[in-house]
Amino acid sequence: LSDDQVLRAALDTHGCLHLMWRRWNDVFQDKLGHTARSYVSEMIGARNAWAHQGSFSNDEAYRIADTAARLLNMVTAPEQAAYVGDIARELLRLRFEAEAEKAKKETITQPVETTTLAGLKPWRDVVQPHPDVASGRYIQAEFAADLAQVMAGTAESEYRDPLEFFRRTYLTEGLLGLLVTGVKRLTAHGGDPVVQLQTAFGGGKTHSMLALYHLSSGQIKLSDFPGGERIAEQIGDSDLPEANVAALVGTALDPSKPREYPDATVHTLWGEMAYQLGGFEGYKIVEQADLKGVSPGSNTLSDLLFQFGPCLIIIDELVAYARNIYGVDGLPAGSFESIMTFMQSLTEAVKRSDESILLISVPESDIEIGGEAGRVVLETLSHIVGRIESVWKPITATESFEIVRRRLFATDVDYAARDAVINAFGDMYRNASGEFPSGVPERDYLDRMRAAYPIHPELFDRLYQDWSTLERFQRTRGVLRLMAAVIHQLWTRGDQSLLIMPGTIPLDTTPVRNEILRYLPDTWDAVFDTDIDGPASRPFAIDGDVPALGRYNACRRVARTTFIGSAPSVAGQQVRGLEEIRIRLGCAQPGEPAAVFGDALRRMSGQLTYLYTDGTRYWYDTRPTVNKLARDRAQGFPQAEVDAEITARLRAVSKQPVGRKNRDFAAFHVSPPETSDVVDEARARVVVLHPEFTHKRTNGTSPAMQEARRFLESRGNAQRLYKNMLMFIAPDENDADALRLAVRDFMAWHSIHDEREELNLDAQQRRQVSTSLQKADETVDLRLRATYSWLLVPVQPDPLGAIELQASRISGDDNFYDRAARKLRNDGLLIYEWSPDILRMELDRYIWSDERGWEIGLKQLWEYLAQYCYLPRLFDREVLVKAVKDGVGRLDAPFAYATGKSEQGHHTGLIFRRLGSIYFDDTSILIHPDHIVEPPEVKITPPSAIPTDRPGVGKATDEPEPAKKVLSRYYGRVKIDPQRVNKDMGLIVEEVVERLTSQVGCEVEITLEIDAQRPEGFDEGTVRTISENSRTLKFEHHGFEEK
């Protein structure tokens, strides 16, 4: 043996695959292209898993077999591809049996809840699937028209049998035109001699070729199948032809091996064509050209067609055949140039023959074209055939609906019920036009819904527009396979949906999951199980946690719709994903609130690992979003850091100029660690407890209660005096955990935002971080307001009993300081304006008596009010002063006020039943009206009469008395104690100035003289401030002097 033979004999599967991988660019790139390289990579991975005793599920084994068959076809190994195809079909059979057995065991334990509009029938009550789809027998079908298998008699009956084939075939405009032109051409009544069929992968080219093949077989009549009358109308009186057929399938022919027949051995395409048309007699016409590998001329081919006409020549997968010959010499099939020459001669010959037609498929997708060699073949072939060909019209979107519907559903339809459902959808789209894409309420879209029923057009659009761009997804075949699996699962589980929509696809079932994932890279498996559907997925968990969403399976339906609409997209696209309005289109049904799906979408966008968002667009990707990074970081923050962030936010709230809080409380203490941090003063102050000290209803010994008592009883090591001045705001026990989770999220997003450069985030991720940070910040504010919802107030119902803490829930959307103040004000627990009558009642109840006396110092009264919790709680002493002032000024004054008491026991500066100034000092007192002690009135004795009979004094005469003096000017000067300036000035104004100014025509001039001396001198700041204030107050003379 030669060295090459020894090497080839030693190559096993592993060696062949690795040889292809390593020498790809040198040998295989031009002919097979990128798609085949991905197949090689997948096969290497499968082989390695097998070699390491890895296990394979049925679906994984089927995918491997399918990939192997595709690769074998691409390298022109038809026999091996057919063998692997048998293995794939066996795997499908096993899968069918397993699914059928599983379906027998499954029973519905409870009725399926209906959430749609009452009176509308679900799709299962309007139309039924074909028996093979309903039963699951579709699993064994490939939904693939294989011309070579039909010719060999090994295809499924639905493709092999003409009657069954046309029963399940919908005559599209393109197919109808092809059949009509084919019949006319084969009966010598005109028609196009060459028809080129070009669509994307799985676009129906082979199916159309089979249709003309069966129609020309002589085994069927136009009256045998629906739509035959349409063909009859256009062909007139012509009978259906019985043509000789030659079907050349490039993937079924090996250019390196001659094809053996009982009476001949053929080597080339033209030899194969001639033998199929005329057997050995036909082959003899081109025998010499076949043996030499050169193309016969057009005259020779014309003789062949004339002798064995009418002739139907079908050439499929020619590019796949010719690219393997490109650049290779010495093959039995001839050279690439000879094949191209043959195609040119054949088109000329068919044009000359009145009873011959050539159908040739031209690929459009990269998966069928292959590498650079395939592109050269395609360009050359298009140039040759394009001179005289007629381009076949591919199916339209509406026709594709009917194709799928006819293949998967029975013909019996309750049209009245269908129209009622479609009209209900139309009403929903019109009534909430802003919630759905524009155009869906229009008549054209509703007509599409009728044509596609029971499948929603949105699902068709996503499959035909998005999924058909995937290499492995064939347009018609892929849709049929997927929808057959979907319909079977929905049928067996009793689905009550009005339509089959993206949101109702049962992605949680194994057949549907495996069918849809077979077209995507393996990296999608983790995405699917985590973020899309299944009992372990996050959407499933969210639906379970939120009953309002779970009633409609809102999160799962949103996840399914988003996945169907975004999985085929790639990262290189500038605009990715689905808009929110289109997601609602794929989810909402009449009778269901569209807003619930928006709520589900927003919840999911913050919790899912692989769901991306950019504005109003959402999509899945195999790369984790920064959500996962944020969740991981959120769990890593220590509890102390989380509580510190909460405390900082509480302090920020206390400093915000919000509402009335700066007037409602005299001071704020946020999360003080020690009791000494809360000042013991006679001012109303609120203490906001640390997040650790929570309260729960009916729990009198909650951590919040215990912490509040600690502050109430002491200040540091000393006993707290002013207990009645403290109030507490505490967090709710149930809401505290949610607050901490929200704070953790915020801290995580904040840290990611700070490290965006180090993390190398792209533009979209940075936008997501900014948006998520803003949302997290808002969520923390909301949670903070909701959590701090308990007001704890010291009360003492019995003056001799213990002090209790009264807990009140303060709910609302506004600032919790405002809520606390409002609760205190409404319940009279903190008084901002006090009635004099209530003051009198409290004095009578606790202060005045024969034993305790009938008067009390004003300052002492305030001390009592600030210390004892059985007394009313006033905001500050000004509230008490105002109540006193209002009371003494009434005609029915409930008490009297005096500035002091003389040594003789008289009340001085008494104000009772008149207006006057009230002073808060050590000498001011309140007196019971019945116990006022006023100073005695001073009686002035008039001068005695002068006796007239004293010595030296004569008797009175009648002379007039001298004029009485008029006192017209008053002046006064008094020294004022600078420590009592306000009180003394008030008394002077009240007792002197006001009495003077009340005199009519009295002009009063008051001059204030200030003399201040400081031996050590005044500092510069004091000099500057007083001088500036003196000028501002318009002093006539002022200044500082040296000693």
Is 263 within the bounds of a domain? yes
Per the structure, the complete domain to which residue 66 belongs is given by 3-105
Q: Are 140 and 203 in contact (CB under 8 A)?
A: no
729 within domain boundaries: yes
Q: Judge whether 946 lies within some domain.
A: no
Judge if 533 and 443 occupy the same domain: yes
DSSP H or E segment with residue 45: helix 29-51
The secondary structure of 663-698 as a DSSP string is: HH-SEEEES-SSGGGS---SS-EEEEPPTTS-B-TT
Q: Using the 3D structure, point to which of 393, 416, 446 is the last residue of a domain.
A: 393
Q: Which residues 6+ apart lie within 8 Å of 340 measured at CB?
A: 322, 380, 381, 384
Asked whether residue 247 falls in the same domain as residue 378, the answer is yes
Final residue in a domain of this structure, among 771, 794, 826: 826
Judged by phi (left if over 0) then psi (alpha if -120 to 50, else beta), residue 480 lies in: alpha
Beta-carbon contacts of 796 under 8 Å, excluding residues fewer than 6 positions away, are 802, 803, 804, 868, 869, 870
Task: Give the DSSP H or E segment for 927.
Answer: strand 925-927
Distance CA 331, CA 333 (A): 5
* Domain membership flag for residue 135: no
One domain, residues 649 and 617: no
Say yes or no: 466 and 523 in one domain. Answer: yes
Question: Quick one: 302 exposed, middle or buried, by C-beta within 10 A (0-12, 13-18, 19+)?
Answer: buried
Question: Is residue 50 one of the residues assigned to a domain?
Answer: yes
Report the distance separating Cα 567 and Cα 467, nearest Å: 8
Q: Do 879 and 999 lie in a common domain?
A: no
Does residue 660 form part of some domain? Answer: yes
Which of these three, 354, 369, 393, is where a domain ends?
393
Strands (E) across 140-257 are located at: 194-197, 244-249
pTM (whole model) above 0.85 = no
Name the pairing type of β-strands 259-260 and 265-266.
antiparallel
Counting the structural domains of the chain, the total is 6
Residues 332 and 430 both lie in one domain: no
Q: Residue 789 in 3-state DSSP?
A: strand
Distance CA 174, CA 392 (A): 6
In this structure, the answer to whether residues 375 and 405 fall within a common structural domain is no
CA geometry: angle at 771 spanning 766 and 774, to 5°?
125
Indicate whether 384 and 421 sit together in one domain. no
Instruction: Classify residue 749 by burial, with Cβ atoms within 10 Å: 0-12, 13-18, 19+.
Output: buried
Q: CA 61 to CA 80: how far, in whole Å? A: 17
Same domain, 341 and 474: no
125 in a domain, yes or no? no
In this structure, the chain runs to a length of: 1043
The answer to whether residue 808 sits within a structural domain is yes
Are 735 and 676 part of one and the same domain? yes
Give yes or no: residues 425 and 564 share one domain: yes
Question: Which residue from 1004, 523, 874 is spatially nearest to 861, judged by alpha carbons?
Answer: 874
Instruction: Assign 493 to helix, strand or coil.
Output: coil
Q: Letter for the amino acid at 343?
A: M
Q: Cβ(78)–Cβ(86) under 8 Å?
A: no
Q: Residue 933 in contact with residue 922, Cβ under 8 Å? A: no
- Residues 267, 315: one domain? yes
Rounded to whole angstroms, the Cα distance separating 918 from 889 reads 11
Could you list the mean pLDDT of each consecutive 10-residue stretch along the chain, which spans 1043 residues?
66 81 80 78 86 80 84 80 81 68 48 70 92 70 68 79 83 84 87 77 71 87 82 80 89 86 91 92 92 91 91 88 82 88 91 90 67 75 64 62 81 90 93 89 91 91 83 75 88 90 91 85 86 91 91 93 84 72 93 91 87 86 84 89 92 63 75 91 92 88 93 91 94 92 93 88 84 90 91 92 91 84 90 93 91 91 94 92 93 92 87 89 92 74 51 49 69 79 77 78 84 85 83 83 78
